[in-house]
Structure 1
């Protein structure tokens, strides 16, 4: 079964957001929304001081969960509510963290829900202090912060600027978008560390080619195809999520680079081959050729725009290098994965390509189908393996390309661990 470490969102991670007394509490409402947008589950704890600035109803509406305000709430405490909350949290984030809250944490007090929660949780604790600039600079505050850091609390430094009291200086709570980004990046790093150790492709360097190539006719015209690069980009993301170091060699497409992936842009088939050969020198372990490379290029590219003259224009074409066959033919070749985008006899052509180009694995699809063609967000594929792997072909039913990519990663992993040594 494929174990996914999806780094585009943070699924099923729980954030307890504690809001303390201060004008910056209004930013916490926005922070809840940003954390929810990033895929987190959020439950809010409010101190008595926080409720003087913003109502629990606001946070209930934004988080979709009841807001916790009292330590000795009879209904909640029937199930040891504060202990359950402490165990539920994957991160306790206090934003804003008032001067009084920092002092309670440093002293180990437990006289309200938040201070008790702080002592009861095993999760990481982050505090985002927000206060008057002089209160921030006070020796007692700095002493409390040093104690918290020594205790393992992560302190998010406040911003400098104008404050509600009219002062100017350090003490402003960072913007909600920045806080949400820091939290997201923290969990990304944690998930990446797990993927690099336990992922299906942990320790592998994967090179993925994606998108079309453009073969110039003149400075303004070119030969290309309808490939959007979506399948290749989805595969690059899936390989990275499976713990691999990923290099994406991309033709001209309008797609964002997947998180954590190194992207190298090219235009022509020759450029794509040159970079692919360079990747072999970097220790490429797996080469996935999803790019729709132009079979031919113009023999002589015009130096200037060709002017319209007559009813016909004859252009001489020459064959482009076969990238996947060239890489597969190297003495120290990586595990080779090819793709076959066909409009008829799909399985027959794919099986032939697998043998002719000496590939380890090939995935084929019927691009004549409008529902899974080049521009579609979904795909359906058939996977063939070289004989030495003794694996049956796999039918990947129609699904979003991200899901197809994860299934292909699983197929690559299975092949890498099922090769039969020749006698």
Structure 2
């Protein structure tokens, strides 16, 4: 996500500065090179040696005759983006007023003058965040093009955003945004059909692929709506916690998408049709159950032979295509044959039936895994991909950007 990106990490004197060692590590895990800049107040909370260790670079703690602010954030400076995390009320107000009395605020003034992207992750007590002067400063900086990563309001504090949110916003600010002003709808996860109040009919989809596509589209500038089903059953070894996406939680919040949480295939269809009314593209990555049934109001007793009357569910991409004849749609096709030619043939049938832009064909064995092997099947050709789902999601997002650019130029 941040491969080849140089991040200048500004740290100010919030207690959240203790989180910056792990933040620096996470930025580097995502491919970034990081150099830290600290205020005197931050140095009272975390020692510069900690950030030197985390970044493997010297830490700027004062502006000297080496004009570190210009070397980092000036014209042709080292940094591709200045990330200030955490940013105190004091620091936010000073940046809006062009007050340069710390290494961090001096770097910010330099970056804004040199048109270097700036991302700010505030962290302070909630009354400070609600101060009219702070809110006015945030509005001013927003007007100047500064990206803010909204804090989490908890326990009377405006706590620093999650590492994922900060990394996503940093990548979005630092990179090209070919999907800017585009609305992309992504479906993800499994659907679940109730058999009775206890049992369900579902599948093994984890939703990782769809979430990765949503994240990749957001980083490229899109507004993303994620219609997410449940997370299918996996062994403990292959499962990983997904905050708010274990099913049944309507209060899901992801930093890169507006989430519509659904459970059944009918709910997913309804939510997708509604979201697509304003969409520029749809990526249908959800593993939608092929069958539903009339659930029993009472728990079915075990031990007896039983027959379930299954009825086919609606094909979401077909329903969307009927409503939106010109909408670019990317489909997914999971097979179990393991044979590339068979997967291409099955994908092409879906491609032609629903007039899709292209289809991502993969083997069902990748469900729940971080890695995948897939075929991107177009009308005239098919490209093979093997690697992480994050890498594949980037390929998909880039392809969508090309399609939408071509359409807008017609």
For the criterion TM > 0.5, the same-fold answer is yes
CA distance in 2, matches of 1:188, 1:411: 20
1:36 aligns with 2:12: no
CA distance in 2, matches of 1:107, 1:317: 68
- Within a 5 Å distance, the mapping from 1:150-229 to structure 2 comes to 181=161, 192=172, 199-229=177-207
1:302 aligns with 2:290: no
- The alignment covers a number of residue pairs equal to 340
CA distance in 2, matches of 1:120, 1:220: 56
Corresponding residue SS for 2:213:
helix
- Within a 5 Å distance, the mapping from 1:263-342 to structure 2 comes to 263-280=259-276, 282-298=277-293, 300-310=294-304, 312-342=305-335
CA distance in 2, matches of 1:241, 1:315: 44
CA distance in 2, matches of 1:378, 1:83: 41
* Structure 2 residue ranges without an equivalent (≥5): 28-32, 113-117, 125-132, 143-156, 232-240, 244-252
CA distance in 2, matches of 1:62, 1:32: 9
Corresponding residue SS for 2:332:
strand
Q: Deviations over 1:140-165 (max 9, x none)?
A: xxxxx99xx8xx999xxxxxxxxxxx
Q: TM-score, normalised by structure 2?
A: 0.66
Shift of 1:234: 0.7
Maintained 8 Å contact 1:46/1:67: no
Task: Name the structure 2 match of 1:366.
Answer: 363
Task: Name the structure 1 match of 2:368.
Answer: 375
Shift of 1:301: 1.6
CA distance in 1, matches of 2:5, 2:298: 53
Match of 1:393 among 361, 368, 382: 382
1:234 aligns with 2:212: yes
Corresponding residue SS for 1:122:
helix
Decide whether aligned partners of structure 1 residues 276 and 308 sit closer, same or farther in structure 2, where only a CA change above 3 A counts. Answer: same
Task: Name the structure 2 match of 1:134.
Answer: none
Decide whether aligned partners of structure 1 residues 352 and 42 sit closer, same or farther in structure 2, where only a CA change above 3 A counts. Answer: same
Corresponding residue SS for 1:218:
coil
Task: Name the structure 2 match of 1:412.
Answer: 400
Decide whether aligned partners of structure 1 residues 347 and 121 sit closer, same or farther in structure 2, where only a CA change above 3 A counts. Answer: same
Q: Deviations over 1:75-114 (max 9, x none)?
A: xx6x66676467457368999999xxx9xx99989xxxx6
Maintained 8 Å contact 1:296/1:317: yes
Shift of 1:18: 7.4
Corresponding residue SS for 2:384:
strand
Shift of 1:216: 1.4
CA RMSD of aligned residues (A): 4.7
CA distance in 2, matches of 1:415, 1:107: 45
Q: Deviations over 1:262-301 (max 9, x none)?
A: 1111111111111122223x31221111111111112x32
